[in-house]
Structure 1
Amino acid sequence: MRFKIMFTIAAGLALGASSASAQATDCATTASIAYEHAKVKNYDAAEEPLWKVRKECPTYSVATYQFGEKLLKHKLKKAQGADKTAIANELIALMKERFQYFPAKTKVGAMHSDIGQVMYDTKIGTTEAQFAEFHKAYTTDKKNFKGAKKLYTYFSLLVDLQDAGKKKLQDVFELYDDITEKIEDEESAKAKTIATLTEKEESGTALSSKEKRKLKNAGINLAAYSKVKAGINQKLGARADCDKLIPFYNEQFAEKSGDVKWLKGAAGRMSAKECTADPLFFKLVEALHKAEPSAKSAYYLGILAMKDKQRSKALEYFNQSAELETKASDKAKVYFKIGEVLKKQGSYGKARSYYKKALQQKPSLGTSYLRIASMIASSANNCGTDVFSKRAVYWLAANYANRAAKVDPSLKSVAAKTAANYRAKAPSKTDVFNNPGISSVKIGCWIGETVKVPKL
């Protein structure tokens, strides 16, 4: 009897092991079929086996959810009406399933922001529900909250909620500052790639196919962030104009005059919107410098000194600000301001060094390239030794103007016109033909650079 029981147990275990093995084999076979079809975007053939794996073997591979997402997004593009809503809900469910079964391989910031965008695009849920997905993504995993479009949607929803009286204006300002900083960080990373590869190309070194793709992709992404930043500024609209800011901050000043974070935000916003002529700006700066002497307060004192035409004092404050500042984008702003003061004084060499310092901190600051181009062009007669070399200075100026467009797409039009204007003043094809053997021109005085003779 005991032998029969043992035999039955053993047989059951063997049968169970055999069944589990068969199921594993079936999962692998079905998944292989589904994945192969999905890899070549044959989603019609991939759908049945893929959903079978999803239902029967949910923990088999994260690839099930990756391909499933691509499949549903493909269907979503073609769907209409109720079908579109149904597919969107299925996509959201799939994203949540991936997190359920593969939490270590799912980025929370990406998942919740993706869900929020799907809800927004397909009009699923309330504005509050859509915003909640983005807000969870941004506040819990900002690093993986990526994508220019999603950043815009997040901010746009907050503004809509503020318009409806469900969020405070201060909430809008704070998110605006934070998102703008994130966008500028992304822009700087892409612009640095573009600047590095452009300089390599201009030096005469051919780019590899990988570098060409990298350069192209950086340009595409940079253009997207540039458009979104413009969109966010447009969405913020008149809420941040001087006639709105001044009474808004005046009303809060008595209560917030000791709040350093609030003072920085208020002074920064008034400075950005050029509301510095109002007495409130002086009150903010004075309170900020008293509460916490810092890079910011020194910068604003420099602005006030400039208003009083005390350039030396302003430069002193700006240099203090640059030394104290730790945030790259803000340090770039200070360096740029110093460059502007020095340029007005005619100290072109020193001004260029500060414009370049600004670019080191914020590679997407294309205006710095335009300023350098302008100074170089205006020095053509002084820095060339003969007619050809004087006119060759404009090639160098045009190169700098072109760089401005590459690192900041919002400057594309003005940079292109500027570069074309400089090239029109540079040596012509005939001039180059009449000066054979000249492949580059060394430019003297404060410029001290060499420019290659382009192929005309």
Structure 2
Amino acid sequence: MKAIIFLLGVMFITNSNAQKFDCPTKMTEYQELFKAKKIAESFDTWTAVSKNCPKENEAVYTDGIEIIQYKIDNAASAEEKEKLVRDVLKLYDQYNKYFPLTTQDFEVNKAMTLVDNKIDAKEEIFSLLDRGFTKASNKVTAVNAIFTYFSMYCEKFNNGDKSITSNSVLEKYTLVNSLLNQLLAAKPDSNDSEQAKQNRDYKTAQTAINKLIKDLATCENLDAFYTKNYSDNQENGDWITSALLSLSGKCIAKPIFNTLAEKLYAMKVTTQSANFMALAKLQQRKFPEAIKFYNESAELQTNPIEKAKIYYTLATGLLANDLPKSKEYLKKALSSDPKMGKAYLFLAQLYSNSSNDCGKTDFEKKAVYYLAIQTAQKAGVAEPRLKPTADKAAKDYEAKSLTADEISKAKMNGKLVTIGCWINETITFPAK
């Protein structure tokens, strides 16, 4: 009986202490200091909140990671620094304990905390990454984490780790390739500088990963790997997409590429699946079908910059010899992305190549070059980085174009001349 009374007393005191700690007020107190960049001053109050209010709010953990990181960056010794890093790892564990649904990749974050703070714990880092990617790879968005994991995996394979086979390396290659592709698809190219930088980082990681695996990821090995594993993954769109991306660089001729492209397209018609079908048809030299699928890919593309790229690819490739069509698709590209300077440069080149065919008189032939100059100059305006190239092209055309004297002698100052043929453009000459 005495034991029960004692226990009740302890519980009463504990509850009373908990009730005395005002979680919302204390949290506001440390956050005000934190937001005012008084990070060191916020530490003690934050520590009390993290101990007394572990379920209060996720900000307790996200703020806490930044607060401890501040102390890490200002640590007086290597020992103090590592102790603080270990405190962050414990905080991640606590974060996951109370908020498991939003912290599924916490082990990856723990690993990268060790990496970012240059803690010498290679095996621990790899173990954390390996567990984290196995459990929650689809939650990982940090490009450095993706690259670090794959590079460490390759290093172990190259060093003769018996637990890692060539097949498992290709499986990880497919995984990380798929992750990077999904991240790129989620945030397609745009003129937003931050997003563009992030996408460059993703593409840089893809290039680096391909370089790491270039000796293993031969067309023969990829063909054998994807052929062998296709039946187990034929309903996995992400796996098929990653396989197609891996093959699309230099291995389109492999039969498995066409199989995968047809399967993905049958699963869902998207701009990407249509593009893969276009590549497959291009390889088979079925050019009208390739054009059809490229057009479908462009029509389904919601990102104007990506849409312009498809139209440009058609204009400068499959349709390059069909001058009216090539011009039409260059115009479509510019309609989608007015800043695509290279489209103007290609169009200017098409014009210059057709001066003899489309000019009926010597004046008209030179007028075509005049049009080429104007078109090339538009490239430098649309895309300033191309201005040197545009200026050089314009100067080359100038040697064959109309001079000011020739325009005056023909009494064409301030007048118009229409070039027919496939060009079908009207040129306005400057007044005197």
Q: 1:230: which partner in 2?
A: 207
Q: Structure 2 matches for 1:265-304, cutoff 5 A?
A: 269-274=246-251, 276=253, 281=254, 284=256, 299=278, 302-304=281-283
5+ residue gaps, structure 1, are: 1-10, 195-214, 307-312, 361-365, 403-415, 432-437, 451-456
Deviation at 1:354, TM superposition (A): 7.8
Q: Distance in 1 between matches of 2:167 and 2:18?
A: 58
Q: Does the 8 Å CA contact 1:394/1:423 hold for their aligned counterparts? A: yes
Q: TM-score, normalised by structure 1?
A: 0.61
Q: TM-score, normalised by structure 2?
A: 0.64
Q: Residue type matched to 1:237 in 2?
A: K
Q: Distance in 2 between matches of 1:268 and 1:400?
A: 31
Q: Distance in 2 between matches of 1:253 and 1:17?
A: 60
Q: Residue type matched to 1:397 in 2?
A: A
Q: 1:154: which partner in 2?
A: 149
Q: CA RMSD in A?
A: 5.0
Q: Does the 8 Å CA contact 1:113/1:137 hold for their aligned counterparts? A: no
Q: Distance in 2 between matches of 1:87 and 1:124?
A: 15
Q: 1:348: which partner in 2?
A: 326
1:154 and 1:370, CA in 2 relative to 1: closer, same or farther beyond 3 A?
farther
1:72 and 1:302, CA in 2 relative to 1: closer, same or farther beyond 3 A?
same
Q: Distance in 1 between matches of 2:422 and 2:190?
A: 28
Deviation at 1:378, TM superposition (A): 0.8
The equivalent position to 2:48 in structure 1, one of 44, 52, 55, is 52
Say which SS state the counterpart of residue 421 (structure 1) adopts: helix
Deviation at 1:129, TM superposition (A): 0.6
Q: Does the 8 Å CA contact 1:131/1:154 hold for their aligned counterparts? A: yes
Deviation at 1:69, TM superposition (A): 0.6
Q: 2:94: which partner in 1?
A: 97
Q: Distance in 2 between matches of 1:124 and 1:166?
A: 20
Q: Distance in 2 between matches of 1:286 and 1:192?
A: 27
Q: Structure 2 matches for 1:66-85, cutoff 5 A?
A: 66-79=62-75, 81-85=78-82
Q: 2:3: which partner in 1?
A: none
Give per-residue Cα distances to partners, 1:52-79, cap 9 Å, x unaligned.
Answer: 2222332333332222110122233344
Q: 2:198: which partner in 1?
A: 221
Q: Does the 8 Å CA contact 1:65/1:94 hold for their aligned counterparts? A: yes
- Greater helix share, structure number: 1
The equivalent position to 2:287 in structure 1, one of 293, 310, 314, is 314
1:169 and 1:138, CA in 2 relative to 1: closer, same or farther beyond 3 A?
farther
5+ residue gaps, structure 2, are: 1-8, 267-272, 359-365, 404-413, 427-432
Q: Does the 8 Å CA contact 2:311/2:329 hold for their aligned counterparts? A: no
Q: Residue type matched to 2:146 in 1?
A: L
Percent of pairs with identical residues:
16
Q: Residue type matched to 1:319 in 2?
A: K
Q: Distance in 1 between matches of 2:199 and 2:262?
A: 39
1:259 and 1:389, CA in 2 relative to 1: closer, same or farther beyond 3 A?
same
Q: Distance in 1 between matches of 2:80 and 2:15?
A: 42
Q: Distance in 2 between matches of 1:166 and 1:12?
A: 52
Say which SS state the counterpart of residue 343 (structure 1) adopts: coil
Q: 1:420: which partner in 2?
A: 388
Q: Does the 8 Å CA contact 1:31/1:50 hold for their aligned counterparts? A: yes
Say which SS state the counterpart of residue 238 (structure 1) adopts: coil
The equivalent position to 1:245 in structure 2, one of 214, 219, 229, is 219
1:97 and 1:389, CA in 2 relative to 1: closer, same or farther beyond 3 A?
same
Q: 1:210: which partner in 2?
A: none
Q: Distance in 1 between matches of 2:328 and 2:17?
A: 78
Q: Does the 8 Å CA contact 1:152/1:228 hold for their aligned counterparts? A: yes
Q: Distance in 2 between matches of 1:390 and 1:253?
A: 48
Q: Distance in 2 between matches of 1:36 and 1:354?
A: 53
Say which SS state the counterpart of residue 239 (structure 1) adopts: coil
1:84 and 1:169, CA in 2 relative to 1: closer, same or farther beyond 3 A?
farther
Q: Structure 2 matches for 1:332-411, cutoff 5 A?
A: 338-339=314-315, 340-346=317-323, 347-352=325-330, 369=340, 372-379=343-350, 381=352, 390-399=372-381, 401=383
Q: Residue type matched to 1:219 in 2?
A: A
Deviation at 1:90, TM superposition (A): 0.9
The equivalent position to 1:32 in structure 2, one of 28, 32, 38, is 28
